[in-house]
A and B are shown apart, each in its own frame.
Chain A
Amino acid sequence: MSQVDIFSKHAAGSKGTERAPMPTQPPEERVKNFREVSLGYSPETARREASRCLQCRHRPCTKGCPVGIDIPGFVRLVAEGDFAGAAAVIRQDNTLPAVCGRVCPQEVQCESLCVLGRKGQPVAIGNLERFAADWERENREDAASKPVSVNGKKKGKVAVVGSGPAGLTAAAELNRLGYGVTIFEALHTPGGVLAYGIPEFRLPKDILAHEFKELERQGVELRTNVLIGSTLTVDDLFAQGFQAVFLGTGAGLPNLLGIPGEDLNGVYTANEFLTRVNLMKAYLYPQVDTPLYLGKRVVVIGGGNTAMDAARTAVRLGSEVMVVYRRSRENLPARREEVLHAEEEGVEFRFLASPIAIRGDEQGWVEAIQCVNMELGEPTENGRQGVKPIAGSEHWLPADSVIVAIGQGPNPIISRTTPGLETGLHGVLKVAPETFMTTREGVFAAGDIITGGATVIKAMGGGKKAAQAIDRYLRHKNSRLIGQSIGEV
């Protein structure tokens, strides 16, 4: 079959064919292990799925991609069997395709705009992105790496604070632009939420380790165990010769419910729970030293990805899990796939209910959680549906552990210790819209630290744009400096 055949509207292999489902571990099996749930397409399935793409001339899907990947371009190459080529196309705009293919909310981004989705099912763009990235990693170890410009003198030194998607992307971009880059990370393992928050069964940590190895191979220096604002301040970084500082410190500070009983034993923030399991590998206790005590009946509060991750992790640790969410199913902010997977794995959902108190036994351990039913009201100014409690509907649910997954805010350490950094609503750093520069000259920021908790791809998009803004800033500054010194002569 020639290419033309594949992509002519008639052949639009498309019409009749169904979207290829992502093969997964069966639910009854996967709840007993931490291995990845989704198994990935085979090359044949990937080609078949890719050939459903209509190659629309107006490319609607690309408008849904926060980093503007040439989606029809890479999908076409997958269909043709040029997987390396497909991966290269993606890499032009996305440094972490293996991650994004797994964790992006495609159903509200690219796939929501796919023409096929109007009548049937959209092309599985995320699955194909994942396929191309995995194929590249498994088959062409060095594909992603460009030769390191050893002879090329570095344009200058930039410090990147935080190794989450924002920092990682900024570092890769700055390195590509010819700067010497050092990443400073507070934790002992890099990756931000990708390392400590998103579980192994959704994002294998090998993939992350591979990305960091690759980055280091390209010359980026990575320093873990450094808390900027404490071990070194932003001023210290400038004093050490960094000409610009990028802050990608995320929104890691967990919100609490503020209800009675939240300090009882057995009440965790999702961050603590997930950190113990993902970063510290508490599920392997006692082979590892970090313990985790989780009761038989676990109630998770919240409806986002964090809540789904906590619920599904608790299932794997052997608990019966109920997710309590104050809005309705349609309002769940989590990725659709995570909700489906959670349901398949036996997680129970209780919608339109909100916790108001937690009760403990004599020893101070959680025993039950009190909720009140909610009803949907008028949409609020941010477009989400408002909710209000229904008087008299208070009721107790038995619970041995409660996991609070109601969002995170920015960590205050850097803003507390850096003179001149202004923060806005909820403590996010203020930046200028085009330049990503904070209120402190030479200090830039992107990712969750400027938006509040958002998505991996948005953090990456921000990190990349900020890196380009840093390049503009430094080129301008350096040319001014050169100008000045010439003037002085």
Chain B
Amino acid sequence: MFKILEKEAVAHNVWKYVIAASDVAKKAQPGQFVVLRLHEQGERIPISISDWDRDAGTITLIVQAVGHTTQQLAEMNAGDHILDLLGPLGKPAVIEQVGTVACIAGGVGTAIIYPEARRHQEVGNRVLTLIGARSRDHLFYQEELAAISERVLVATDDGSYGYKGFVTDLLRQLIDDGIHLDQVIAVGPIPMMQAVAELTKRHDIKTIVSLNPIMVDGTGMCGACRVRVGDEVKFCCIDGPEFDAHQVDFSSLLRRSQLYERSGTSCNSTENMGEGCDGQCHK
């Protein structure tokens, strides 16, 4: 059993949880995630480790309520227990000193990009952060990201904060302004990551994406999370979740992420995942 120590609303429909999980906290690295199961009848779902405190033995998860399990989690509070939690899973992000790095997040991807951006700053990279969200209410981690980034640029769908439009427009602007980027990291809805990958490929900028396919065990046992990367089939949970964006087959990923829409589960995450998502994946 894993106790929820704190719960806080950080944005529209997005909650932050601090959870007692000392073994996971000791090992967590940027880019890694946990798989949790709330109760005996629960589904196993993957959630990124957004932060950790090794001394206190806690991890921080940022979860957007998009469906059945995440909504049940949204109804839980400090003092409640999560039945099962396994992690850290996935390969840690490879973070080296490269120069200038653009960290691009869409919606809840901000939670995933934060520990990576922080590590980039720690190893001496110049960090430019670009965030896309549906509206002002959907933004979070602004201050945390501002503290470690040289610049934070925001795009909202409705223009209620920052630039009105797609986060990829902001990236294009940076490139057009002649800012040299040594690396780009993008985390968010699949169409957003795909758009970023297409843009950076044209400019030959190394780009990493953090993928979020459907998972079951998270240990390499089921193959649900398989993705096409270049000529190979990779298991996202043990070979990823980060891959070279220019090698990822996004159309296959997008298709597979809709698998359970047929069986009656529905998604409203387009609204919340931020712009860049054209809604196609969740029709």
A254 with B27: CB separation less than 8 A = no
CA distance A420 to B224 in the complex (A): 31
Which residues of chain B have C-beta atoms less than 8 A from A226's C-beta?
A: 23, 86
The digit string for A269-292, where 1 denotes a CB below 8 A from any CB of B, is 101100110001100011111111
Within 8 A of A (CB), among B40-92: 41-44, 68-69, 72, 83-89
B88 with A413: CB separation less than 8 A = no
Q: What's the least CB distance linking A227 to chain B, in Å?
A: 6
Task: Count chain A CB atoms within 10 A of each CB in B221, B228, B260 and give the residue with the most.
Answer: B221
A231 with B223: CB separation less than 8 A = no
Given contacts A226-B23, A265-B258, contact A288 B223 (CB under 8 A): no
Pick the contact of B86 from A231, A269, A286 — CB < 8 Å?
A: A231
Which residues of chain B have C-beta atoms less than 8 A from A364's C-beta?
A: 255-256
B23 with A231: CB separation less than 8 A = yes
Q: What's the least CB distance linking A44 to chain B, in Å?
A: 39
Pick the contact of A256 from B221, B233, B264 — CB < 8 Å?
A: B233
B41 with A186: CB separation less than 8 A = no
A423 at the interface (CB under 8 A from B): no
Given contacts A227-B86, A231-B24, A293-B263, contact A411 B219 (CB under 8 A): yes
B173 at the interface (CB under 8 A from A): no
A8 at the interface (CB under 8 A from B): no
B5 at the interface (CB under 8 A from A): no
B220 with A413: CB separation less than 8 A = yes
What residue in chain B is nearest A193 (Cβ atoms)? B221
B3 at the interface (CB under 8 A from A): no
A254 with B221: CB separation less than 8 A = yes
A252 with B219: CB separation less than 8 A = yes
Pick the contact of A263 from B41, B44, B256, B262 — CB < 8 Å?
A: B256
Pick the contact of A269 from B27, B223, B260 — CB < 8 Å?
A: B223
Given contacts A289-B43, A291-B263, contact A265 B256 (CB under 8 A): yes
Which residues of chain B have C-beta atoms less than 8 A from A177's C-beta?
A: none
Given contacts A265-B255, A289-B68, A291-B263, contact A230 B43 (CB under 8 A): no
What residue in chain B is nearest A186 (Cβ atoms)? B219
Which residues of chain A have C-beta atoms less than 8 A from B252's C-beta?
A: 263
Given contacts A292-B263, A293-B259, contact A230 B87 (CB under 8 A): yes
The digit string for B222-234, where 1 denotes a CB below 8 A from any CB of A, is 1110101000010
Which residues of chain A have C-beta atoms less than 8 A from B256's C-beta?
A: 263, 265, 364
B216 at the interface (CB under 8 A from A): yes
A293 with B262: CB separation less than 8 A = yes
Name B's interface SS. mixed
- The range of chain B's interface size is 35 or more
Which residues of chain B have C-beta atoms less than 8 A from A289's C-beta?
A: 41-43, 68-69, 72
Q: What's the least CB distance linking A320 to chain B, in Å?
A: 18
What residue in chain A is nearest B91 (Cβ atoms)? A416
B238 at the interface (CB under 8 A from A): yes
Q: What's the least CB distance linking B182 to chain A, in Å?
A: 28
Within 8 A of A (CB), among B222-274: 222-224, 226, 228, 233, 235, 238, 249, 252, 255-256, 258-260, 262-265
A271 with B255: CB separation less than 8 A = no
Which residues of chain A have C-beta atoms less than 8 A from B258's C-beta?
A: 265
Which residues of chain B have C-beta atoms less than 8 A from A25's C-beta?
A: none
CA distance A265 to B281 in the complex (A): 14
B217 at the interface (CB under 8 A from A): yes
Q: What's the least CB distance linking B230 to chain A, in Å?
A: 14
B222 with A271: CB separation less than 8 A = yes
What residue in chain B is nearest A409 (Cβ atoms)? B220
Which residues of chain B have C-beta atoms less than 8 A from A230's C-beta?
A: 27, 87-89
B7 at the interface (CB under 8 A from A): no
B216 with A280: CB separation less than 8 A = yes
Q: What's the least CB distance linking B282 to chain A, in Å?
A: 13
B217 with A291: CB separation less than 8 A = no
B164 at the interface (CB under 8 A from A): no
A225 at the interface (CB under 8 A from B): yes
B44 with A280: CB separation less than 8 A = yes
A426 at the interface (CB under 8 A from B): no
Within 8 A of B (CB), among A220-254: 224-227, 230-232, 252-254
A227 with B219: CB separation less than 8 A = yes
Given contacts A288-B41, A289-B69, A293-B259, 17 further A-B contacts (CB under 8 A): A188-B83, A227-B86, A231-B24, A263-B226, A263-B228, A263-B249, A264-B255, A269-B223, A271-B222, A275-B217, A275-B222, A276-B216, A280-B216, A290-B43, A293-B260, A411-B219, A411-B238
5 tightest CB-CB pairs across the interface, nearest first? A272-B222, A364-B255, A269-B223, A289-B43, A188-B84
6 CB < 8 A contacts A-B: A230-B87, A231-B24, A231-B88, A265-B258, A265-B259, A291-B260
